[in-house]
């Protein structure tokens, strides 16, 4: 126990030099946790938004449906298999019928996907109830997102001509009225999408009881048949793979930032250790004369360096916890158009600091500090006590 | 039956390599010291005083010959064994005091006992006793920077003496002190030598120190030139040993 006590005494006795190191290191702690927390928050926020608005607990897809091939939409519809229909009836699933269409806002032509969904559904976090609101006239009620509204120059109450092909391939067109412009961070339910009541779309296309895919509610038990009617299930992991890959690629940039911060902090520790080797040689000699072995001197100086890390963690906790908690509550305002990030994130980003992140960062910083503290002290192993006492380096 | 010497060197030689040349700091030095001696190695700079002291203190090893201290052969000690020997049996007093600057006087003196693993109550009793020996009980809470040179050297003496070692090696202990402080420090050491029977060996070329020595060994160019025992007027014991 003597070495830890001495090490603590020595670094506290070093005064300002110690506290400067500790402050720089604590700054690195806080900034690393903040930046990683921001990335983790962005990832989780995007995943949660996509799950709530688009993925749910996963999708059962019509066998012909390929979301990456718009041409597949022509054949990608069929009667909802019994078990899935029963789930929909119980409110644990939401069938969606998708057809290719064209919107003509203000005389312009925009290719759109027309998606039919039950206005009463609660599986997805979409304001579909607006589709069922009582209205005058027989125009098709449509729900669009803010990006689609911006693209077509549309707002709530505007009319737009909608053209589509029915089940037999016949073109048809009718006026639609925008009943609501929804604000969503999930681009894939917004850009180029027009949501209409499911029954109305089935009637418009002559596809009664049909759907392209069925969204299962989160946590809902799936049918015993793994692929009812040949409809394949795609879980959350399948849908989130792309976004996770994107976050992974963005984390490379974050890691560079992480490494620079860590290197700056370690430079301060390394510098202090190297200076200590030159300034405190006589002290090392005295310790050896008093009965310290070289190993104990190395342990003492390494521990002193490491204690900088421990103190930095404590100091970082003192100002970092309130600061980062406040940012986690109020969020971090993102500048400009967040769509360009390629993520389903809102205008404010809410960092998430997991136990693994804090413990991992602390562990990594302490480990690096220990290594950086130890490296210069290896020279002590070659130090002769007589030279040390004269203030010379062997 | 005569008592076995506490320190014995035989043909002790220490050479330093200086590029193509080898310089002999010690050249076949054979000496022995008994328990309770108050002896000094004197001679001009470069005569090998400090080198001999360092080898006796197991801070250095001989190039050839042997040095037996407290029954242990210095040349065959491992680093750990050498550290243990210093810790248990040898106290050092340096010209520049070498107090640890961030510790108080009390903590500096306590340091030697911490390494011995003594319990806190015993440590406290011994530290306070050691500070009493050097008349510095009232400065226990001071930092070394707040002490005069004489006080600092007395703290160093307390630190060396607190573990009640068999041997104290003092390398130019008065070189940084004025005459009055030198005599105070030397009186303190002579008194402790008399009270505890601790063997004191000095390396010095300070005439004030030589006045206190009971045995004076003169080294010249690494060899023992003379080895004289005082006639009994000076030395340790009694009233501090000042002639």
- Report how far residue A84's alpha carbon sits from residue A363's, in angstroms, rounded to the nearest whole number: 48
Tokens of A277: 């080797």
Q: Please, what is the average pLDDT of chain B?
A: 89
| Count of the separate structural domains present in chain A | 2
What residues in A contact B79, CB-CB < 8 Å? 293-295
Question: Chain-centre distance of CA A201, in angstroms?
Answer: 35
Contact in structure between A187 and A54 (CB atoms under 8 Å): no
Name the domain boundary from A203, A234, A265: A234
Domain boundaries, chain B: 7-229
**pLDDT on residue A341:** 57
**pLDDT on residue A394:** 60
Complex ipTM, two decimals? 0.87
pTM comes to: 0.72
**pLDDT on residue B237:** 35
**pLDDT on residue A329:** 92
Using left for φ > 0, alpha for ψ between -120 and 50, and beta otherwise, residue B221 falls in left
Residue A105 vs residues A112, A114, A193: alpha-carbon distances, Å: 11, 15, 13
* % of chain B exceeding 70 in pLDDT: 94
Name the domain boundary from A234, A250, A283: A234
Q: Do A249 and A218 belong to one domain? A: no
- Of the candidates B139, B233, B239, the residue with the CA atom closest to the CA atom of residue B193: B239
pLDDT in tens, A221-251: 888 887 888 899 999 999 898 888 887 787 7
Residues 6+ positions from B224 with CB-CB distance below 8 Å: B29, B30, B31, B217, B218
Contact in structure between A248 and A42 (CB atoms under 8 Å): no
> Is the CB of A293 less than 8 angstroms away from the CB of B114?
no
pLDDT in tens, A76-103: 999 999 999 999 999 999 999 999 999 9
Of the pLDDT bands very low, low, confident and very high (cuts 50, 70, 90), residue B233 is very low
pLDDT exceeds 50 at position A154: yes
Contact in structure between B8 and B22 (CB atoms under 8 Å): no
- Looking at residues B44-64, what average pLDDT do you find? 94
- Looking at residues A281-309, what average pLDDT do you find? 91
What residues in A contact B103, CB-CB < 8 Å? 9, 13
Q: Do A71 and A203 belong to one domain? A: yes
pLDDT exceeds 80 at position A337: no
Q: Do A62 and A33 belong to one domain? A: no
Q: Do A98 and A21 belong to one domain? A: no
Q: Do A248 and A384 belong to one domain? A: yes
Q: Do A87 and A220 belong to one domain? A: yes
- Report how far residue B92's alpha carbon sits from residue A109's, in angstroms, rounded to the nearest whole number: 96
Q: Which CATH number fits domain B7-229: 3.40.50.2000, 3.30.830.10, 3.40.50.20, 3.40.50.300?
A: 3.40.50.300
DSSP assignment string, B102-122: TS-HHHHHHHHHHHHT--HHH
Is residue A110 situated within a structural domain? Answer: yes
The boundaries of the domain holding residue A339 are 2-52+241-389
What residues in B contact A384, CB-CB < 8 Å? 59-60
pLDDT in tens, A277-287: 888 888 999 99
Of the pLDDT bands very low, low, confident and very high (cuts 50, 70, 90), residue A393 is low
Q: Which of B89, B98, B123 to mutate to test the interface with A (most CBs of A within 10 A)?
A: B98
pLDDT exceeds 60 at position A34: yes
Residues 6+ positions from A330 with CB-CB distance below 8 Å: A348
* % of chain B exceeding 90 in pLDDT: 69
**pLDDT on residue A391:** 75
If contacts are CB pairs under 8 Å, which of residues 290-319 in chain A contact chain B?
A: 290-296
> Is the CB of A9 less than 8 angstroms away from the CB of B59?
no
Contact in structure between B101 and B144 (CB atoms under 8 Å): yes
Q: Do A90 and A142 belong to one domain? A: yes
Q: Do A275 and A184 belong to one domain? A: no
Tally: H helices and E strands in chain A: 10, 13
Phi/psi of residue A351, nearest 5 degrees: -65, 150
Q: Please, what is the average pLDDT of chain A?
A: 88
> Is the CB of B79 less than 8 angstroms away from the CB of A291?
no
Greater pLDDT, A235 or A107? A235
pLDDT exceeds 90 at position A344: no
> Is the CB of B92 less than 8 angstroms away from the CB of A293?
no
pLDDT exceeds 60 at position B85: yes
- Of the candidates A132, A129, A379, A170, the residue with the CA atom closest to the CA atom of residue A275: A379
Q: Do A159 and A35 belong to one domain? A: no
Rounded to the nearest angstrom, the minimum Cα separation between B84 and chain A is 6
Residue A90 vs residues A83, A212, A216: alpha-carbon distances, Å: 11, 19, 11
Q: Do A158 and A255 belong to one domain? A: no
Is residue A394 situated within a structural domain? Answer: no
Closest A-chain CA to B85: A291
pLDDT exceeds 60 at position A35: yes
Q: What's the sign of the alpha-carbon dihedral B181, B184, B187, B191?
A: negative
Of the pLDDT bands very low, low, confident and very high (cuts 50, 70, 90), residue B148 is very high
Matching residue, tokens 């399948």: A238
Tokens of B204: 């010095």
Name the domain boundary from A234, A252, A277: A234
- Report how far residue B128's alpha carbon sits from residue B107's, in angstroms, rounded to the nearest whole number: 11
> Is the CB of B102 less than 8 angstroms away from the CB of A286?
no
Q: Do A211 and A337 belong to one domain? A: no
Q: Do A177 and A251 belong to one domain? A: no
- Looking at residues A104-123, what average pLDDT do you find? 92
Ordered alpha helix ranges (H), A225-336: 236-279, 281-289, 294-330
**pLDDT on residue A197:** 95
A384 touches chain B (CB under 8 A): yes
Of the pLDDT bands very low, low, confident and very high (cuts 50, 70, 90), residue B219 is very high
Of the pLDDT bands very low, low, confident and very high (cuts 50, 70, 90), residue B240 is very low
Q: Within 10 A of A192 (CB to CB), how many other CB atoms are there?
A: 17
């Amino acid at each position: 126990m003597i070495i830890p006590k001495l090490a603590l005494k020595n670094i506290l006795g070093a005064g300002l030099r110690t506290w400067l190191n500790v402050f720089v290191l604590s700054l690195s702690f806080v900034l690393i946790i903040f930046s990683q927390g921001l990335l983790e928050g962005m990832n989780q926020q995007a995943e949660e938004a996509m799950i709530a608005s688009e993925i749910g607990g996963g999708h059962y897809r019509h066998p012909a449906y390929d979301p990456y091939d718009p041409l597949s939409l022509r054949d990608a519809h069929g009667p909802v298999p019994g078990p899935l229909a029963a789930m929909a009836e119980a409110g644990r699933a939401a069938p969606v019928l998708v057809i290719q269409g064209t919107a003509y806002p203000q005389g312009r032509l925009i290719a759109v996907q027309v998606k039919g969904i039950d206005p009463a559904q609660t599986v997805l976090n979409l304001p579909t109830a607006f589709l069922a609101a009582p209205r005058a006239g027989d125009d098709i009620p449509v729900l669009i997102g803010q990006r689609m509204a911006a693209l077509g120059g549309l707002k709530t109450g505007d009319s737009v001509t909608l053209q589509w092909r029915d089940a037999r391939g016949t073109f048809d067109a009718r006026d639609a009225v925008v009943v609501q412009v929804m604000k969503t961070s999930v681009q894939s339910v917004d850009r180029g999408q027009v949501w209409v009541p499911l029954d109305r779309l089935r009637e418009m296309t002559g596809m009664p009881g049909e759907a392209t895919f069925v969204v299962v509610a989160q946590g809902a038990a799936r049918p015993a048949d793994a692929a009812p009617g040949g409809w394949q299930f795609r879980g959350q992991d399948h849908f989130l793979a792309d976004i996770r890959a994107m976050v992974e690629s963005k984390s490379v940039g974050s890691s560079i930032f992480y490494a620079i911060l860590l290197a700056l902090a370690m430079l301060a520790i390394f510098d202090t250790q190297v200076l200590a080797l030159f300034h405190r040689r006589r002290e090392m000699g005295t310790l050896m004369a008093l009965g310290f072995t070289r190993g104990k001197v190395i342990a003492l100086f390494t521990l002193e360096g490491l204690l900088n890390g421990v103190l930095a963690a404590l100091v970082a906790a003192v100002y970092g916890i309130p600061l980062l908690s406040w940012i986690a509550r109020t969020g971090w305002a993102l500048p400009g158009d967040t769509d360009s990030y390629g993520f389903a994130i809102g205008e404010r980003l809410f960092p998430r600091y997991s136990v693994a992140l804090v413990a991992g960062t602390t562990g990594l910083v302490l480990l690096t500090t220990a290594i950086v503290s130890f490296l210069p002290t290896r020279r002590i192993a070659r130090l002769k006590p007589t030279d040390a006492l004269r203030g010379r380096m062997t | 039956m005569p008592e076995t010497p506490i320190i014995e060197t035989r043909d002790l030689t220490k050479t330093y390599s200086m590029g193509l040349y080898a310089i002999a700091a010690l050249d076949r030095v054979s000496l022995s010291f008994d328990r309770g001696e108050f002896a000094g190695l004197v001679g001009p700079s470069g005569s090998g005083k400090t080198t001999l002291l360092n080898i006796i203190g197991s801070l250095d090893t001989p190039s050839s010959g042997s040095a037996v201290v407290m029954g242990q052969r210095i040349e065959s000690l491992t680093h750990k064994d050498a550290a243990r020997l210093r810790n248990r049996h040898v106290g050092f007093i340096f010209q520049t005091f070498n107090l640890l600057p961030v510790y108080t006087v009390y903590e500096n003196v306590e340091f030697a006992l911490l390494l011995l693993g003594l319990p806190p109550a015993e440590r406290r009793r011994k530290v306070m006793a050691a500070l009493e020996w050097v008349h510095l009980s009232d400065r226990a809470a001071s930092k070394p920077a707040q002490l005069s040179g004489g006080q600092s050297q007395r703290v160093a003496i307390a630190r060396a003496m607190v573990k009640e070692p068999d041997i104290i090696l003092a390398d130019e202990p008065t070189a940084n002190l004025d005459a009055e402080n030198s005599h105070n420090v030397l009186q303190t050491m002579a008194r402790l030598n008399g009270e505890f029977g601790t063997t004191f060996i000095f390396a010095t070329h300070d005439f004030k120190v030589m006045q206190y020595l009971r045995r004076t060994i003169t080294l010249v160019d690494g060899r023992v030139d003379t080895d004289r025992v005082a006639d009994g007027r000076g030395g340790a014991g009694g009233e501090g040993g000042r002639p």
